[in-house]
A and B are shown apart, each in its own frame.
Chain A
């Protein structure tokens, strides 16, 4: 952002600090009934120490309440979505399996929740949307507004519901993370009470505001909480509707919220992805790394002194064009950045590019390379890989790698290549082959760098919004070359020590355990 844009954010912050936040309260009796019922059930489940599916059910109710209360989506639509259908299949299980064996008070509370839920399912217009619509109708004509919702799956529904309420309104929907570097607009509309921002680590929406006027739309039955203006002085809170807020006890309410659950997701790797993980782990070389939690449920360990490419983006209407690609030290990586990682396909293009660099020399070099690899493959076929490996004093995996045309040659030429050539009867060509390998390696290295630079150049100007919205975005250069993926950095954890073989690989995050 340039000086002027930074100045606009400062000016917004001054307005927010002086005038505070604006709140629009929504009356939603059906949801209030559901909220009371699910809290009562949660109390009883705790009181009777019920475990397993009961806790999952309580969580499902927390999520249901949060989604209906904090989005303008129709409850009838929301509860038909996949994530809710899965949760509510458990309802049936419980009612069939364990409802008969629990205390009558629990059964009665459960039935109250189900009844409240049945009423919610019938609601075709969310009062939150109606209230938000009437609020937005008061915004200046021609002003720019941003609506914030976290989950992209509900964006179309949000847009439709708000447009129905106020067809002429112009607004953009953004994820909170997109607003860290967003230029200033006129209005920002958030759904949910102020305290939620703190627990979602989204206080920056108020501290570094993209608009001078921030509206928070939430249900009257919700706990308002407070939003501290600065950590340096946590007793100073944002004023709401022109009134100072006293510090209430919000801790007691947190157990009824789903927001906290995602805060402590562990950075672990899928077992399936790393079959050698157990058993030999203690004996392995370990290294200190920075764990990066990336979009799309991915993880990445980068060495403490490692370097990554990041894409800097600007803003245009509905787009995030790439302005530049920069190298950053691992220790400078922060959440909210886009980092560039190679995924697949680069190897396919490198030989062609390398051949172009080698020119007329390419053909004889490739023929020589093919000759010894073919003879080694024939020998492996004739005698078996284990025998060949034993004869050459190496592992079977190494022999397989050296037969593969993608692998140029063994690292240690004198120790490994010479015995191979002796075995296959090409010892006389040793010096020619070594020279060819040298040229080939150099050409491959240059080709890789050229393709990389080409890709980085071609990134400039590309719309990278998908990476912000979905958490990742595949980038393929028009001229071919490696597929790179830009990942949105969701979180950066503390330094840890992990086996060296896990470093620099794209890994999946393990499913969240409830």
Chain B
């Protein structure tokens, strides 16, 4: 029996799935489940997995699961972008974060992909110059006076924290008033986005055209949920899930949409790489048949009248699973139960 997540406890922490408590714990739990599911199915690409989640209510669940999937995808995308960026800084003086402390050192090794660590010759013990006052070139050419000779191996999740010492300035360009306004607004939004999805990921969200998730459920309700202003905990900031999930079909996200939303009644065929998130209803039996070629998350909500019926359908599918292959999610919340298995 394969255990998908026996390795995951440490990785979960390192991979930074958390929004730092900005979302309520139930929403955070769903984001995490989506994140872990997307990550773990990549480890076993030859099989197709079903993750059933039993929870009190259906509202917002599909969207937070989708957000978790996007966080995983965006993290991966950001890592590859990070490799290219890091290579341009090879041999130069950088700052980076480790265990919550900002450190400095010389970037000495950058791998070809985000599967390995970068190496930074860590500097300790000498007062640093005021990098703010140095030019970009001067900062790149800055030679650390002394090193303790220790290599720091920095894992991909921390790569976004690696920067040339000091601050980078972009070439100034002329801009119209409306562009300035839009950029300022985007900057404010991106701060909130970064808080929720984690550092380094929003660039992928804003630019990638990947559509890794398709939600099948009540389209009208999902549309309302997407555009509801949600307040973050311990903050006056608000955000809309639409700005993160960027639904297909919305003009404002046309260049970088990620999430398809369809009806359970007319379930469209989607790419086999796409993760289907299905809001279980009376058509679940048909929906499971239509999505047998995909990895999928099935949401079973107690508040939905067909809860018992759909839960039994999932359990029957579980009993028909590939006998030697059971997924186990080490993670569970008191009131949100999961059942996962390979269906193909």
Tell me the bound Cα distance from A11 to B225 in angstroms: 19
Hey, what's the 0/1 contact readout for B45-57 against A, CB within 8 Å counting as 1? Answer: 0000000101111
Instruction: Known contacts A231-B307, A232-B315, A334-B281; decide if A207 and B302 are in contact (CB<8 Å).
Output: yes
Instruction: Known contacts A1-B59, A331-B283; decide if A232 and B54 are in contact (CB<8 Å).
Output: yes
- Which of B86-94, B196-204, B334-342 is the interface stretch? B334-342
Q: Which of B240-276 contact A (CB under 8 A)?
A: 263-265
Hey, what's the 0/1 contact readout for B29-69 against A, CB within 8 Å counting as 1? Answer: 00000000000000000000000101111011000000000
Q: Answer yes or no: A401 CB below 8 A from chain B CBs.
A: no
Which one of B303, B308, B337 has the highest number of Cβ atoms from chain A below 10 Å of its Cβ? B303
A310 smallest CB distance to B (angstroms): 10
Q: Answer yes or no: A208 CB below 8 A from chain B CBs.
A: yes
Hey, what's the 0/1 contact readout for A8-31 against B, CB within 8 Å counting as 1? Answer: 011111101110000000000000
- B220 and A326 form a contact (CB under 8 A): yes
Q: Which residues of B contact A319 (CB under 8 A)?
A: none
- Nearest B residue to A6, CB-CB: B59
- A7 and B307 form a contact (CB under 8 A): no
Contact size range, A: 35 or more
Q: Which residues of A contact B302 (CB under 8 A)?
A: 13, 203-204, 206-208
Q: Answer yes or no: B19 CB below 8 A from chain A CBs.
A: no
- A232 and B300 form a contact (CB under 8 A): yes
Q: Which residues of A contact B335 (CB under 8 A)?
A: 10, 13-14, 16-18
- Nearest A residue to B52, CB-CB: A232
Tell me the bound Cα distance from A329 to B218 in angstroms: 10
Q: Which residues of A contact B26 (CB under 8 A)?
A: 7, 10-11, 14
- A232 and B337 form a contact (CB under 8 A): yes
- Nearest B residue to A19, CB-CB: B334
Q: Answer yes or no: A276 CB below 8 A from chain B CBs.
A: no
Q: Which residues of B contact A201 (CB under 8 A)?
A: 305, 308
B33 smallest CB distance to A (angstroms): 14
Q: Answer yes or no: B311 CB below 8 A from chain A CBs.
A: yes
Q: Answer yes or no: A450 CB below 8 A from chain B CBs.
A: no
- Nearest B residue to A236, CB-CB: B337
Tell me the bound Cα distance from A335 to B57 in angstroms: 15
Q: Count CB-based A-B contacts (< 8 Å).
A: 107
Q: Which residues of A contact B308 (CB under 8 A)?
A: 201, 203, 231
- B54 and A332 form a contact (CB under 8 A): no
Q: Which residues of A contact B231 (CB under 8 A)?
A: 4
Contact of A231 among B282, B311, B334 (CB under 8 A): B311
- B54 and A329 form a contact (CB under 8 A): no
- Nearest A residue to B310, CB-CB: A231
Q: Which residues of B contact A229 (CB under 8 A)?
A: 337
Hey, what's the 0/1 contact readout for B4-47 against A, CB within 8 Å counting as 1? Answer: 00000000000000000000111100000000000000000000
Q: Which residues of B contact A204 (CB under 8 A)?
A: 302-303, 305, 307
A396 smallest CB distance to B (angstroms): 43
Q: Answer yes or no: B277 CB below 8 A from chain A CBs.
A: no
Q: Answer yes or no: B214 CB below 8 A from chain A CBs.
A: no
Tell me the bound Cα distance from A1 to B58 in angstroms: 11
Q: Which of A300-358 contact B (CB under 8 A)?
A: 326, 329, 331-332, 334-336
Q: Answer yes or no: A181 CB below 8 A from chain B CBs.
A: yes
Q: Answer yes or no: A2 CB below 8 A from chain B CBs.
A: yes
A19 smallest CB distance to B (angstroms): 10
Hey, what's the 0/1 contact readout for B301-344 against A, CB within 8 Å counting as 1? Answer: 11111111001101100000000000000000111011100000
Q: Which residues of B contact A207 (CB under 8 A)?
A: 56, 302-303, 307
Q: Which residues of B contact A230 (CB under 8 A)?
A: 54, 311, 337
- B334 and A332 form a contact (CB under 8 A): no
Instruction: Known contacts A9-B57, A326-B220; decide if A332 and B303 are in contact (CB<8 Å).
Output: no
Q: Which residues of B contact A326 (CB under 8 A)?
A: 220
A150 smallest CB distance to B (angstroms): 16
Q: Which of A103-135 contact B (CB under 8 A)?
A: none
- B263 and A332 form a contact (CB under 8 A): yes
Tell me the bound Cα distance from A18 to B283 in angstroms: 32
B335 smallest CB distance to A (angstroms): 4
Q: Which residues of A contact B311 (CB under 8 A)?
A: 230-232
Instruction: Known contacts A208-B301, A208-B302, A492-B282; decide if A329 and B337 are in contact (CB<8 Å).
Output: no
A376 smallest CB distance to B (angstroms): 46
- B56 and A332 form a contact (CB under 8 A): no
Q: Which of A163-219 contact B (CB under 8 A)?
A: 180-181, 201, 203-204, 206-209
Q: Answer yes or no: A156 CB below 8 A from chain B CBs.
A: no
- A17 and B57 form a contact (CB under 8 A): no
- A209 and B300 form a contact (CB under 8 A): no
Q: Answer yes or no: B84 CB below 8 A from chain A CBs.
A: no
Tell me the bound Cα distance from A11 to B27 in angstroms: 11
- Nearest B residue to A336, CB-CB: B305
30 A-B residue pairs with Cβ-Cβ distance under 8 Å, sorted by A, are A2-B228, A3-B225, A3-B228, A7-B24, A10-B24, A10-B56, A12-B56, A13-B56, A14-B25, A17-B334, A17-B335, A204-B302, A204-B303, A204-B305, A207-B56, A207-B303, A208-B56, A208-B57, A208-B301, A208-B303, A229-B337, A230-B311, A231-B54, A231-B307, A231-B315, A232-B311, A331-B283, A334-B306, A336-B305, A492-B282
Beyond A204-B302, A231-B315, A331-B264, list 15 extra A-B contacts (CB 8 Å): A10-B24, A10-B56, A14-B334, A18-B335, A201-B308, A203-B302, A204-B305, A206-B302, A208-B56, A229-B337, A232-B52, A232-B314, A331-B282, A332-B263, A332-B264
Interface residues of A (CB under 8 A from B): 1-4, 6-7, 9-14, 16-18, 180-181, 201, 203-204, 206-209, 229-233, 236, 326, 329, 331-332, 334-336, 492
